[in-house]
Chain A
Amino acid sequence: MTRGETVNGSAPAAAGPPGADGSTAAPPPAADGSARGYAARRTLPLVVEAVRQLRRRRTMVVFGLLLALPWVLVVAFELGAGSGRRGAATRVSDLATEGGLNFAAFTLSVSASFLLAVAVALFCGDTVAGEANWSSLRYLLAAPVPRDRLLRQKLIVAMGYSTAAVVCLPAMALLAGTLAFGWHDVRVPGTGETVAAADVLPRFAVVVGYVLVSQLVVAALAFLLSVSTDSPLGAVGGAVGLVIVSTILQAVEALGTLREFLPTFWSTAWMDALAPQPDYGGMVKGVAVSVSYSVILVAVAFRRFRRRDIVS
């Protein structure tokens, strides 16, 4: 069969029935050919995406875990209260029971490096890959939700959930710690000096903000992997894997200053903000590294998704 015959073969169909009942369809003649009431800027509203993600078991479990952890720790400290060594308390964990702020700092220090990273990776890594996995991605794209808009809305919602996760843990820790151990001034690990609680509280907000920013790299990488694969597990695992590899590389002192550019290198810099004389130098560097990586990763994600053939 030749091409000529093909074209000929299609001709009768084109000349077929349009005239007969074309009037009954009566499509609204929008300039861009869209259906009545459709506008790209109204597709996939944030609240819709938020609701789509909210009722997932995964979301519930993560928030349940983050909100329960401080209470688990409170119980753990209460149970072990008798055996703890008092006096020469110089580690963060020794000082956890000093008061609500100390407890919150301790909770953050044990969870920021991994637990929060996993939570953030989960929200950002699952957001697109999960849809691909459910096959619902193609129907959203054919709705049509323009690809850039889909990514934008999903990124905003995923970051919103990540922010909520990162904020709710220290907030609950502050509440739990204050109820359990009282509202006292902060004792600093190492020297044991105290800093007034009123001074630390605003700094603690900065700390939470910094922890969030330092998770940006994880979020961005998870997001990039999410648009590159149909497997949500792969996206989340890949981002968590980055944290692990980076933490391992960080221990290689031979790398020298190169280590400063590892995404996790500054992840504990927030502790400097709780010292008697706060030092924000490390946090500034951490923000710079984190923002730099994540901006590029997100840009790559957008570029990739825009060109990608959706075959899921």
Chain B
Amino acid sequence: MAVVLVIGAAWLLWPSAPPVRAQDRWITVTDGPRDDQRVRLDTSFFPPAGGGRAPAVLLAHGFGGSKQSVREEAARLAGEGYAVLTWSARGFGRSGGQIALNSPDYEVKDVRQLVDWLARQPQVLLDAAGDPRVGVAGGSYGGAIALMSAAHDPRIDAIVPQITWYDLADALFPDAGGGGPENGVFKRMWAGLFFSRGGPEPRSGPGGPGLTGGADDPGAPAASGDSGDTAGSGGPNGPGGSGDPAGTAPAVPATAQDVRCGRFLPEICDMYQRVAESGRATPEAVGILRRSSPVSVPGRIKVPTLLLQGLSDSLFPLGHADANARAVAATGAPVGVAWFDGGHDGGDGEADWLHERTLGWFDRHLKRTPGAGDPGAAFTVTRDGGRDPGTRRPVQLHATAARYPGLSGSGSATVPLRGAEQPVANPPGGSPASISTIPGFGGLAGLAGGAGGLGGLGVSADMPGQSAVFDSAPLTAPLQVTGSATVKVRVRPAPGAEGGKTSSAPAAGDEVTLFAKLYDVADGQAPVLPEGLAAPVRITVPAGGAGEATVRLPAVDHRFDAGHRLRVAFTTTDLGYSTPAEPAVHVVGLASQSVTVPTVTALRTPATGPAWWTWALPLASLVVAAVLVLTGRRRGAADHDPALSDVPLRISGLTKAYGNGERAVDDLSFTVGQGQVLGLLGPNGAGKTTTLRMLMGLIRPDGGEIRIFGHRVTPGAPVLSRLGSFVEGPGFLPHLTGRANLELYWRATGRPAEDARFAEALEIAGLGGALDRAVRTYSQGMRQRLAIAQAMLGLPDLLVLDEPTNGLDPPQIREMREVLIAYAARGRTVIVSSHLLAEVEQTCSHVVVMRRGRLVTAGTVGDLLAGRAPAGGASARLEDVFLDLIGENA
């Protein structure tokens, strides 16, 4: 307990890192296609904790956030010795300007000027004049600016983009059949959320904390570097927050342009309005979106890049990190990829782990600390480690591999699927829609999932009649899928459905939108859609024929347990996407009856066996225990003096001091011969009882020794079996009868029952019928007699009685006197301690008088009385002699 307290105190008093002070300033930048727009950016600079010149980190916020969103992470990095600059991007927070979606003409130019500013700071380490050692990190929107500015500014030395895009056009118009964004299916809900978060400022102003709380609460998952659109913490309110807590909303009513486009650049706003209306990407839209995407800068990101992508991300799925990784790796720059339990759809977020990884990457590539950041793990995947048995919370394990294999895995397995062609209906208006995940409600989905670990149980639901399913046989062995599975699908119009179709159906061909999902199906349980991901595909069906496509199913890291089935499902609708309004029926079948799943066998989870201490701790404690027990052992070797074999008791030089240094027994020596009845006399506090306790081996003497029949007395010495004792009152088990007490006591000595001489002892006790009553009912005198009987069990050679006549009535006292005299007459020895001097005078042959722990005198009663007789007169009484001896008879 003391150790716990010490640890606790040390932990409380441990010097914590000095608080990092942020310096808020406005930095004016000039940007625009013609470098003619002046914009004031709201920034915070966190000087490095260590002082001196340190590498710098630009920390960018997510869409809908502001510099406040990343404040906590900035302070942490500054505490680790980095100069950190955070800023509200143009169009966000209190910064001016309009949102240009990380355009090279706007946001990227802003960042270049922030790097210029950093180069002027005395706290920032420089590689050359005007070239600071600087890294960029951020999530989502902030991750994209990290990639884009690394492409455009050669002074940037390392980047850590999180949950971000490679091709924004592909993210919003994905096509798992490889048709590109122009053929893609519009990710309606995510796009709406994405663009509305840059929308008009909340007009409730400061009075509406609910609107901004989601985006700006520094305690929220903001530490992951992305606030507004991670984990959907803002929920339904989030989209309104433009991230300015002090948002001094203008008193003037918003103009039509304000409510239409908010803080977006008008050309981007117009583009979005066009594509959202039609649900199809125009080439111009694709062009605009790609200008803001790393896809437009091939071969230009040449710095060490750590890509942290969320497993639960239906907005920017793992494929975007994969494409970024390939693009950067092509330049020869080091690339790390980690798939963590998080993303735009929720999950744990792993804020601490992301911080560690980010810090490790910057330590390695900015501080150039050798070995930092786990260089052996180019690819890390967070896996479900079950639940922590203590906290009952999900545990993340991090499986690592030395090489990032891409979404096709380092190997693959082909799993046969069964299932005939099935008709699927597209409902009119695309409603009701099947659900894979609900964009922006990741937090809610997580709650609904409840017990699910990573992703786990989602809210996925396929509407009846809208899906075609193809199942595998139950797996004979567990299958860990890491990456994108592929399946070939064939679609043709349903033969009987033409009648129901409207005349507007194009005769030349038809387009079918399907959503491919990979389910984990176990008997008796609801199918699990890993991470709630669906892959949309748009297949063109030639007139009269069948359309085929090779569909890349969503990239996941999922373990299919043995006995589970893989299920590939195709649905015609999905809540998150724009689907055709026109009713139709198609027949969906597999072009090849199998699914090819990627595996990465190199991924190794750190040993999941018991923690090292589970075996080390018991072993260590066993050693400690052994030391404790063995060192405490005093091997009193049999110490026998044969010359004293016939001397019942010899005490020599006995000394015992108590804790306060007072000597209870001081250099006491006397000898008791056989057949004696010795009276041990002394006033209270003379040390009589202490002496008797030492005699019984209950107390260790500090000096001197006691020998019984020549054997030295130690605790539990075998010779004590020849000692019968009654010291300081009786000691019985109150719930047992007197008889049971005596019997159990004798059995506890381990000696043969016939040696006990119960009859004689019981006769001395004289309890009669009371012997079979519980001891707790006894009077003091009865207990006293029972205790003396217990002391006499086995007729010990040496009997020690402490105040034996306490509580006895005069006839019993007389009887006791006769018993003791008779006992000694048989050659045994009795020691009686008493303060009834008349009693001692009549019973004892010898006396030892003690005072304050010391021996006053010893000898026969007769000698004592005779020696003192002249002083008193004719016949001295022991009482007078005693008082004289102890000096009280003044």
Contacts and interface: CB of A to CB of B under 8 A. Distances in A.
Interface of A: 1, 3, 6-7, 9-10, 12-18, 20-27, 29-45, 48-49, 51-52, 55-57, 131, 134-147, 149, 190-191, 193, 242, 249, 253, 255, 258-260, 265-266, 268-269, 272, 279, 281-289, 291-293, 295-296, 298-300, 302-303, 306-307, 309-311
B14 interface: no
Nearest to B627: A299
Given A37-B755, A145-B748, A56 B389 contact: no
A35 B729 CA distance: 24
B696 A142 contact: yes
B757 interface: no
B644 to A, nearest CB: 10
Nearest to A283: B389
A35 B796 contact: yes
Nearest to B774: A55
Given A9-B857, A17-B676, A33-B709, A142 B720 contact: yes
B441 to A, nearest CB: 22
Contacts of B856: 1
Interface string B839-850: 000000110000
A56 B747 CA distance: 18
A27 B709 CA distance: 10
Given A25-B826, A136-B733, A296-B628, 4 more contacts: A1-B857, A32-B718, A38-B751, A295-B625
Contacts of B696: 138, 141-142
A272 B732 contact: no
Contacts of A131: 731
A282 B389 contact: yes
B822 interface: no
26 contacts: A13-B671, A14-B671, A16-B673, A18-B675, A21-B674, A25-B674, A27-B797, A32-B640, A32-B711, A34-B718, A35-B794, A37-B755, A38-B750, A45-B748, A56-B733, A136-B733, A141-B696, A143-B745, A191-B451, A265-B390, A284-B610, A286-B389, A292-B621, A299-B625, A306-B715, A311-B699
Contacts of B388: 282
Interface string B3-17: 010011001000000
Nearest to A299: B625
Across the A-B interface, the 7 shortest Cβ-Cβ residue pairs: A282-B389, A42-B750, A135-B731, A24-B827, A299-B625, A33-B719, A146-B716
A16 B825 CA distance: 14
B770 interface: no
B130 interface: no
A288 B710 CA distance: 49
- Give the residue among B669, B696, B716, B734 with the most A Cβ atoms within 10 A: B716
B73 to A, nearest CB: 20
By size class, the interface of chain B is 35 or more
B353 to A, nearest CB: 15
Interface in B625-651: 625-626, 628-629, 631-634, 638, 640, 645-647, 650
Contacts of B697: 141-142, 144
Given A34-B719, A143-B745, A309-B698, A281 B610 contact: yes
B670 A13 contact: yes
A10 B670 contact: yes
B676 A13 contact: yes
Given A190-B450, A289-B617, A36 B755 contact: yes
B632 A12 contact: no
- Give the residue among B451, B728, B747, B863 with the most A Cβ atoms within 10 A: B747
Contacts of B252: none
Interface string B692-727: 010011111000000011110001111111110101
B698 A44 contact: no
- Give the residue among A16, A56, A249, A255 with the most B Cβ atoms within 10 A: A16
- Give the residue among B1, B618, B725 with the most A Cβ atoms within 10 A: B618
B826 to A, nearest CB: 6
B246 interface: no
B646 A18 contact: yes
Given A10-B671, A140-B748, A291-B618, A16 B676 contact: yes
A299 B624 contact: yes
Given A138-B696, A143-B720, A311-B699, A51 B855 contact: no
B812 interface: no
A118 to B, nearest CB: 19
A302 B646 CA distance: 35
Contacts of B846: 13, 16
B734 to A, nearest CB: 7
B674 A22 contact: yes
A139 B718 contact: no
Interface string B772-813: 000000000000000000100010110000000000000000
A3 B667 contact: yes
Interface string B455-490: 000000000000000000000000000000000000
B673 A43 contact: no
Contacts of A309: 693, 698-700
A9 B858 contact: yes
B311 interface: no
A217 to B, nearest CB: 11
Contacts of A242: 1
A258 B11 contact: yes
B390 A282 contact: yes
Nearest to A130: B733
Contacts of A23: 827
Contact of A138 (B7, B727, B744): B727
Contact of A288 (B613, B633, B693, B731): B613
- Give the residue among B450, B621, B859 with the most A Cβ atoms within 10 A: B621
Nearest to A29: B645
A51 B744 contact: yes
Given A3-B667, A13-B846, A135 B729 contact: yes
B611 interface: yes
B193 interface: no
B407 interface: no
Contacts of A18: 646-647, 673-675
A77 B748 CA distance: 47
B626 A299 contact: yes
A53 B721 CA distance: 24
Contact of A31 (B614, B638, B673, B731): B638
B836 interface: no
Given A13-B846, A303-B628, A147 B716 contact: yes
Contact of A269 (B390, B729, B828): B390
Contacts of A310: 693, 698-699
B647 A141 contact: no
A9 B625 contact: no
A302 B733 CA distance: 23
Contact of A10 (B638, B715, B854, B858): B858
Contacts of A299: 624-626, 628-629
Contacts of A307: 632, 700
B647 A30 contact: no
A135 B734 CA distance: 11
B730 interface: yes
A281 B525 contact: no
B386 A9 contact: no
B752 interface: yes
Contacts of A265: 390
B352 to A, nearest CB: 11
Given A18-B646, A45-B750, A40 B718 contact: yes
A153 B238 CA distance: 68
B699 A34 contact: no
Nearest to B709: A33
B672 interface: yes
Nearest to A43: B750
A35 B749 CA distance: 10
A284 B614 contact: yes
A3 B859 CA distance: 16
B524 interface: yes
B622 interface: yes
